[in-house]
A and B are shown apart, each in its own frame.
Chain A
Amino acid sequence: MSDETNAPDAERPKRRWWLGLLPLLVFSGLLAVFAYQLIGGRDPSIVPSALIGDPVPTVELPALKPDKPGFGPQDFGGGPILVNVFASWCVPCRVEHPLITALARDYGIPVYGLNSKDRRDAAIAWLDELGDPYTRIGYDPNGRAGIEWGVYGYPETFLINPAGEVVYKYVGPITPRLLEEEFLPRIDAMRAQ
């Protein structure tokens, strides 16, 4: 470029050439941080798993139905127990309901229901229609207990070990495959001990 030669101050470019590199350097540093974070594989959204390995939350849940008790931390232990978060308005809960029923009936695992953000009459009508596989059902109309349990979506299923600790949690409707691959092996392992 011939501009340089007759530019008013040809000195300036030489003096400040490194300034031009600054954006590139800053950006490279930024890029390195992004890459490290991304490839380091830390997923920032896995905050909810905080409960895994901890004892069940110490919330006492009142009963949903007069003839079936609610549950609290003292009701865990002795064997594997599932906690299933459901609500009558939740369509995927309806989808997974037969599997929950089969799990309770065929594998003999106590399943505690956590009925959250629901109306009592709607929840009872829902259970009357689809069947009630639960051993205990806790009622959580305003979702406070749900917050303690770290409920993230509906439905959600927790596996609690004989020591009363949360071992595994799944957000979303349970599928047969999930049952085979995630829940049953863990339950069998607990029973084998």
Chain B
Amino acid sequence: MIAELGHYVLTLALGVALIQATVPMLGAARGDQRWMAVAAPASLVQFGLLLFAFLALIHAYVTSDFSVLNVVQNSHSLKPLLYKVSGAWGNHEGSLLLWVTVMALFGALVSIFGDNLPPGLKARTLSVQALVTVGFLLFMLLTSNPFERIFPAPLEGRDLNPLLQDPGLAFHPPMLYIGYVGLSIVFSFACAALIEGKVDAAWARWVRPWTLLAWAFLTGGIALGSWWAYYELGWGGFWFWDPVENASFMPWLVATALLHSAIVVEKRDTLKSWTILLAIIGFSLSLIGTFLVRSGVLTSVHAFASDPERGVFILALLAVAIGGSFALYAWRAPLLTGGGLFRPISREGALVLNNLLLTTAAATVLLGTLYPLFLELATDDKISVGPPFFNATFVPIMAPLFVALGVGPLLPWKRADLAPALRLLWVAFVFTLVVTIVAGIAVWGQAAIALLGLALSAWLIGAVLTELYRKCRPTQSVTAGQALRRLTGLSRAACGMTAAHLGIAVVIAGATGASLLTQEKIEAVTIGQTVEVGGFDFTLTDVRDVPGPNYNAERGTFSVVPSGFAGAEPQILQSENRQYVSNGQVTTEAAIRSTLWYDLYAVLGDPAGQGRFTVRLYFKPLVPWLWIGSTLMVLGGFLSLSDRRLRVGAPKRSAAPAGGNAQPAE
């Protein structure tokens, strides 16, 4: 019964979305306040309806209602409760429902917190948002109904892919989706602004918090997915340049660029057309990513429900949403005129460089992801583009970005001189040099390019801290006490920026350690045998069978001591191979011991005969920094956001601060 209600409510939501997509838009065109006012309540009702549908699906999962096909295909009565709930979005239909629910959530948030928006912009934004929702609801109702019944109902479900039965992955999709879909509201803002033909500093100020919110969640979602891959797949890698990963990474790169170009629009009233384009591209890449994953156009280790029929529908959706917005852009963007002029060497110039490099990086990732497709069309060859391509192209694009990131925040607006900024950075130079030398000694004989990574990280840490120091103590005449007071009085936005940039620096170091400095050994050992890796002695002490709730596990216990300290208190690492009862799939639970500086990583492999087991042992320096850095970035995003809201909360369309041409539209 509840499943039918869920289905019914989806249809209702479609009706509401249709109203929301048309009435306020027409109202804005005719200048009719009452028609425009429909948008806000409509978006609230729509969110309520979709939330109900979403909860109905979760209810079906929690109660193991095997008369619902989706539950049969993705759940099992023995599954722990957390994974019953997360199973609801661990599949094609359910994740679509999550997608539209989040879209409606953002619409509702705009209608609640958007009191300060001009009514025309607000009505149009919510209309565009609803228009995209209509597309997704149609898609769901016509091809992917999550509430489809099955008769006769089977006694037991087929279980969720065991790889997905993991706390990291339970929360990864919702976070990622809030990020992906959060970009939809920015997209809607951009389309609304194009329809109005007006982008000004105030527009940028309204859009930035939403971008920031989406960006922070996207960052968190990607980091969570990477963390999951690191400990669950048991290969010890954290990023595989898989099409699905790229699908989330491209919008992230563009959202990062957008975050920075919106600052220029807000402060200097220029780069408007470009910023609008980024806003459209950001969400378009989210949509294209979804298409790639679900249509079966590209293969991926994530192999989500791929189905050509759905693919055609998504393709049509892409054509309308992205094609439509680009057409709108081609038509209206020439109306957007820039205000403030600037020299290449200036804060604006640095932000433009940031944008150029980030979008080039996104384009490179897109090219690498789609290249197999192009090649197959042209020559019929099947190839896959792997990490070597991405490492060879992505790193050279990002390295100058990180160098420039150290300098950019120290440059004044409009026009600047490089020399004084570089002089300020002498401490950072020295710090970089010292770190590089020390690291060079420490990792002598290993990958030379690792030194570049560590040097970049050190440079960035030095430069970010220098910038923070300059902010608190701009001249020598400021005493230490005053500087300290300034530090505590810094705006949250400034703290957020510092935290996010520091986070990047820390992530660079982590990525360098994980990909270039890892030491590994794969050996067949008997119980009691010791293997030395990266200065640690790993001893396999025990292998035994242990039962789990819906699997049986073979658990290998390793005791680890630093080499040469046999008497030291050993660390115990336990790795498991789990075989799931329902479908026999085997998953690997790597044993990981993290410290601030390194991870010890051990995996028990298959029996190798004669009582021996294949074991994979890793010493992974700096890996924890990946997660620390990502956390810093997310934290920075939220810090900055908490500041923004205060400022945006007390709005004055304070006639665009710098050189604005913010006339009324008509």
Contacts and interface: CB of A to CB of B under 8 A. Distances in A.
Nearest to B200: A3
A23 B579 contact: no
B2 interface: no
B28 to A, nearest CB: 15
B162 to A, nearest CB: 13
A8 B308 contact: no
B663 interface: yes
Contacts of A34: 291, 295, 297, 315, 318
Interface in B272-331: 273, 277, 280-281, 284, 288, 291, 295-299, 303, 306, 308, 311-312, 315, 318-319, 322-323, 326-327, 329-331
Interface stretch (A25-33, A62-70, A71-79, A162-170): A25-33
Contacts, number: 115
B323 A20 contact: no
Interface string A58-97: 0000000000000000000000000000010111100000
B559 interface: no
Nearest to A38: B311
The secondary-structure label for the interface of chain A is helix
Contacts of A2: 663, 666
Interface stretch (B333-341, B408-416, B615-623, B631-639): B333-341
Contacts of B280: 23
Given A1-B665, A38-B311, A17 B334 contact: yes
A3 B281 CA distance: 26
A1 B338 CA distance: 15
B649 interface: no
B337 A38 contact: no
A151 B605 CA distance: 20
B373 A45 contact: no
Contacts of B318: 31, 34
B582 interface: yes
B298 A43 contact: no
B482 interface: no
Given A6-B661, A8-B339, A38 B298 contact: no
Given A8-B661, A23-B329, A24-B329, A87 B584 contact: yes
B389 interface: no
B377 interface: yes
A89 B584 contact: yes
Given A24-B329, A91-B584, A142-B606, A4 B297 contact: no
Interface in A131-146: 141-142
Given A35-B315, A43-B296, A4 B323 contact: no
Interface size class of chain B, counting residues whose CB lies under 8 Å from the partner chain: 35 or more
B183 to A, nearest CB: 16
B381 interface: no
B143 interface: no
Contacts of A89: 579, 584
A38 B335 contact: no
A33 B374 contact: yes
A21 interface: yes
B302 to A, nearest CB: 12
Contact of B298 (A3, A44, A47): A44
Given A23-B277, A24-B329, A13 B606 contact: no
Contacts of B579: 89
Interface of B: 197-198, 273, 277, 280-281, 284, 288, 291, 295-299, 303, 306, 308, 311-312, 315, 318-319, 322-323, 326-327, 329-331, 333-335, 337-339, 370, 373-374, 376-377, 382, 579, 581-584, 586, 606-608, 661, 663, 665-666
Kindly list the 4 A-B residue pairs having the minimum CB-CB distance in the complex, ordered from nearest. Answer: A13-B334, A7-B337, A24-B326, A20-B330
22 contacts: A3-B197, A3-B661, A3-B663, A4-B337, A6-B661, A12-B337, A14-B334, A17-B334, A20-B331, A23-B277, A23-B280, A27-B284, A33-B373, A34-B291, A37-B373, A38-B308, A41-B308, A44-B382, A47-B382, A91-B581, A91-B584, A92-B583
Interface of A: 1-4, 6-10, 12-14, 16-17, 20-21, 23-24, 27-28, 30-31, 33-39, 41-45, 47, 87, 89-92, 117, 141-142, 154
